[in-house]
Structure 1
């Protein structure tokens, strides 16, 4: 069960390289003995992308240029009076 491929082997045997990825999971490509890249199944890639995407809440709370949020502490905001009609 090979999961490390030298770049020249990955290029020469791409179909085998791809099949190994699909059946065994991520495959590492090395260049001059150093890890350089990884081939992963599309399901893994999509999961990584979805998990890396920040939420709107995290973006707003992170602040940044032009974002000035003066949020009250949760449960401490003033409530508007109830107006009976």
Structure 2
């Protein structure tokens, strides 16, 4: 894990390690901020995400229909 300042100072080493197959985590103010990984690994992850994602239409069609119970709301009286 790299601090942001160390990652800036040694960016070539961060990139080389990522290209060698080890994603590099970078923190900012002590909190995890970003991960540097190779373009090949990024494309692999992106392709996997696209394959498992359902279409928006499928998502809408899975939404419960009119048989779902709705809470009854009563209108407010005059103020």
- The answer, yes or no, to whether TM exceeds 0.5 is yes
Paired positions, count? 61
Segments of structure 1 that go 5 or more residues without pairing to the other structure are 65-85
Q: Is 2:49 the partner of 1:59?
A: no
Task: Output the TM-score relative to the length of structure 1.
Answer: 0.60
How many Å apart are 1:20 and its aligned residue? 1.2
1:23 maps onto 2:20 in alignment: yes
SS in 2 for 1:53: helix
**Residue 26 and residue 8 in structure 1: after superposition, are their counterparts in 2 closer, same or farther (change >3 A)?**
same
Query: Unaligned 5+ residue runs, structure 2?
Result: 62-79
**C-alpha distance 62-32 of structure 1, shift in aligned 2 (>3 A):** same
2:64 counterpart residue number? none
- Give the direction of change, closer, same or farther, for the CA distance of 1:54–1:23 in structure 2 (3 Å limit): closer
| TM-score, scaled relative to structure 2 | 0.64
Separation in 2, partners of 1:10, 1:57 = 37
Residue deviations 1:22-66 (CA, integer Å, cap 9, x gap): 1241000001111100001111100111122267864331127xx
